[in-house]
Structure 1
Amino acid sequence: MENQTQLPQQKPSFFQSNTAKMIMVGLLCLFLLIPLELVKGLISERSQRKKEMTQEVNTLWGSDIKFYGPVLSIPYYDYESYNVEDVNHNVTIQTKKVIKQAYFFPEILNNYSNIKKSKPLKRGLYENVVFTSIMDFDGNFEKPNFEKLDINPESVIWDKASIIVNTSNLKSIKSDLNIALNNQPFAFESKANNDSNFGTLESNLFDYKALQKEDKITFKFQMKFNGSNSVQFIPVGKTTNIKVDSDWNSPSLMGTFAANEENKKIDSTGFHAEWKILDINRSFSQQHTEKMPNLNEYLFGVKLLETVDQYQQNERASKYGFLVIGLTFLVFFLIQSISKINIHIFQYTMIGLALVMFYTLLISITEHSTFSIAYIIAAIGVIVMIVLYSISILKDKKFPLFIGISLTALYTFIFVIIQLEDYALLVGSIGLFAILGAVMYFSKKIDWNS
């Protein structure tokens, strides 16, 4: 028998090893971050466009409602000193009589506001959620104490008193403006104001002494607004009671003062909130001279949130893009390594681009439908495309079926995370932990030395 010489087996080159293939797939994942970032930029651009259109519509309909008042304004005479210099440069001090204003905040201020969601205003592709608010005010002013302001009561011009109301949204007021003082009607008129945050309404002048009864003046008035985004108040009453009812089911109670927890109610039909604020809860007095103080830091109220909009959901979905691409490539790499089927880097690239296309489909369909419907359509389209492509690559129906099930589970998992808010981190962490365990289990069958 002739001796047969065994030829040594040729060792595969480095570029044919699993390590080299894994490096190339990893580099491709990093390369696909470029189109993924471009998609995120598109989502951001469309979101900014919506904000601009929303701002434009809100400007026409009515923006945030901020309310400050009512305030009792009573003028008084005062004397101002000034220097006069003659031709010989001798300086003498002279005085002149001027009229100044004293401002008094109410003793009791009650408000009940009913906020109703209006029919969304559509501008192009975008719908803007707006509301109407009916606000009822009542309360009383105590007899003004000029001594606290160091003003001589004899210099007070009692018959030139007026009521002032400041609000941020004059042009969106949709009701006749009248105030009842001790049951006598007075009309409001617009007045110039240097404060860019507020416009001013002032009642007709009246004689305070002739109107007052029992050292107080009661007031009552109603205002109807078109608005958007929020309704806020400044608690100028010595005791301020605010009640708000609305059919809006996603409010955010905001500002310096917290609502009373025992009276707060939020459910699917709307919300109810109440505030009671005393003068000892804030650091400004009930009377002022010269001009009313800037009290914007004491604003409080409710912000009427729009639930997570379509662009926020798209943005959250795109943040998981790298995870989807990486896990999909990992599934193909494990199949390739276990079955010894060769998958070219070009084929990986086509699969990666299909996964990126999911997000462009998602954003474009969402603008004409809901996010949930768009997500289902885009996911089905991408999964079917990748499964059919996998059949031609892997020449087998078993592995493409596994890929289809894996992608379906992955997209479902991400959709659930996007919908969750309080438990998103917990569910995401558990899901990733389970995925890592599955990868560790299947990767143990790979011969990393080949």
Structure 2
Amino acid sequence: MKIPRDDDPATPRKIRAARLGIGIRDVRGLVGVPALHVAGAPRELHQGMGHGGGSGLHAVLAAPTEGAMLEFDVEFKASVQGTETLSIAPLAERNLIALDSPWPHPQFHGDFLPRTRAIGPQGFRARWEVSSLASNAQSQFRAGLGKRDSDDTIDEISVSLVDPVNVYSQVDRATKYGVLFVVLTFVAFFIFEFLTQLRVHPIQYGLVGLAIAIFFLLLLALSEHTSFGIAYLVAGFACVALIGYYLRHVLGGWVRGAGFAAMLATLYATLYGLLLSEDNAMVLGAGLLFVILAAIMVLTRKFDWYRLAATVPASSKT
């Protein structure tokens, strides 16, 4: 920035101390006192932008002389917490931005991706290098874009701290498997009918399906008060025990009821493994469906569906 000369001696300009402002939309996330160095020298930071209002910080610099060119190397270091998304507008001629965080699941977006990044269980490190020639941020800032009350955005780098496997996402993913659970249970019921020569009433189908649906409601309710693993264990045990007890009477014996309950428990355990998987859920789910379909086809390969449908007797009451 060049300071204009005083062309009119009758009305001389009075050049005051320069202020370097750092706009921050929400300063509540700052931890401790940020450090600012201008041309290698530390500068004290003050609250507010120092001119025209606005949220952020500012530092007072020496008063420039007329005709001087203001050009500084500025280094700003700050620690933040409680921030889900952090965005930075690259307004300098050459912007070197470094972010370090113990969070292991960053999501990079915005107009510029990191030049280098390292992500691991202990956190991530990311580095950006953005030139003013590659960004419209300066002209957009001068035009008033990117302000709190403006709908227009400004070029920025941005990173979000996401949790790919949190309680609510796990419950949501579990409920998406709900229909598959009911269908697989009904298919197992159907196979049991012909293997055991017992007829299962549609109402009995419905009651078991309702018990499976209650599992997901219990899972959501319990996971709000305890860890997801414990909630899943309690909800799964309750529903498997209820269905096993009920099927002991429907299928005519504890062995059959326990066998069906064991199959259902295996299905729940497999689903739990899918829910904990971040990167391989689709592969594991597709493989599981293939194995289940293959098992059904093997078990029913010699069934004479026309004859069995006419000869299956009604279930006995016990």
Which of 258, 265, 285 is the aligned partner of 1:428? 285
Q: Which runs of 5+ in 2 are unaligned?
A: 147-152, 311-318
Q: Is the Cα contact below 8 Å between 2:24 and 2:55 reproduced in 1?
A: yes
Aligned AA for 1:405? A
- What residue is the counterpart of 2:217 in the other structure? 360
- What residue is the counterpart of 2:48 in the other structure? 190
- Distance in 1 (alpha carbons) for counterparts of 2:37 and 2:274: 55
User: Structure with the greater relative contact order (CA < 8 A, sep ≥ 6): 1 or 2?
Assistant: 1
- What residue is the counterpart of 1:396 in the other structure? 253
1:133-189 deviation line (CA, Å, top 9, x unaligned):
xxxxxxxxxxx346xxxx666477533532222111134545568866564855534
- Pairing 1:350–2:207 present: yes
Report deviation, 1:271: 1.2
* SS of residue paired to 1:302: strand
1:330-358 deviation line (CA, Å, top 9, x unaligned):
21222112322132233222212211111
- Distance in 2 (alpha carbons) for counterparts of 1:193 and 1:441: 78
Report deviation, 1:324: 1.0
Report deviation, 1:206: 4.3
- What residue is the counterpart of 2:91 in the other structure? 236
- Distance in 1 (alpha carbons) for counterparts of 2:298 and 2:245: 27
- Pairing 1:269–2:122 present: yes
Report deviation, 1:239: 1.0
- Distance in 2 (alpha carbons) for counterparts of 1:322 and 1:308: 21
- What residue is the counterpart of 2:131 in the other structure? 278
- Distance in 2 (alpha carbons) for counterparts of 1:268 and 1:285: 37
* SS of residue paired to 2:125: strand
Which of 409, 425, 441 is the aligned partner of 2:266? 409
- What residue is the counterpart of 1:442 in the other structure? 299
Q: Is the Cα contact below 8 Å between 2:2 and 2:70 reproduced in 1?
A: no
Count of residues in correspondence between the two structures: 295
- What residue is the counterpart of 2:55 in the other structure? 199
- Distance in 2 (alpha carbons) for counterparts of 1:342 and 1:330: 14
Report deviation, 1:441: 2.3
Which of 43, 46, 65 is the aligned partner of 1:209? 65
- Distance in 1 (alpha carbons) for counterparts of 2:285 and 2:72: 61
Q: Is the Cα contact below 8 Å between 2:165 and 2:276 reproduced in 1?
A: no
- Distance in 1 (alpha carbons) for counterparts of 2:207 and 2:130: 63
Aligned AA for 1:260? R
Please tell me the root mean square deviation across aligned C-alpha atoms, in Å: 3.2
Deviates most, 335-344 or 317-326: 335-344
In terms of fraction of residues, the more strand-rich structure is: 1
Write the mapping of 1:99-178 to structure 2, written as runs, cut at 5 A.
144-145=1-2, 154=7, 157-173=14-30, 175=32
- Pairing 1:336–2:193 present: yes
Q: Structure 1-normalised TM-score? A: 0.58
Q: Which runs of 5+ in 1 are unaligned?
A: 1-143
TM-aligned CA distance change 1:393 to 1:445, over 3 Å: farther
Report deviation, 1:275: 0.9
- What residue is the counterpart of 1:134 in the other structure? none
* SS of residue paired to 2:65: helix
Sequence identity of aligned pairs in percent? 24
Report deviation, 1:222: 5.0
Aligned AA for 2:107? S
Q: Is the Cα contact below 8 Å between 1:238 and 1:286 reproduced in 2?
A: no
- Distance in 2 (alpha carbons) for counterparts of 1:188 and 1:426: 54
Q: Highest Rg: 1 or 2?
A: 1
TM-aligned CA distance change 1:292 to 1:176, over 3 Å: farther
Aligned AA for 1:430? G
- What residue is the counterpart of 1:387 in the other structure? 244
- What residue is the counterpart of 2:145 in the other structure? 294
Aligned AA for 1:240? N
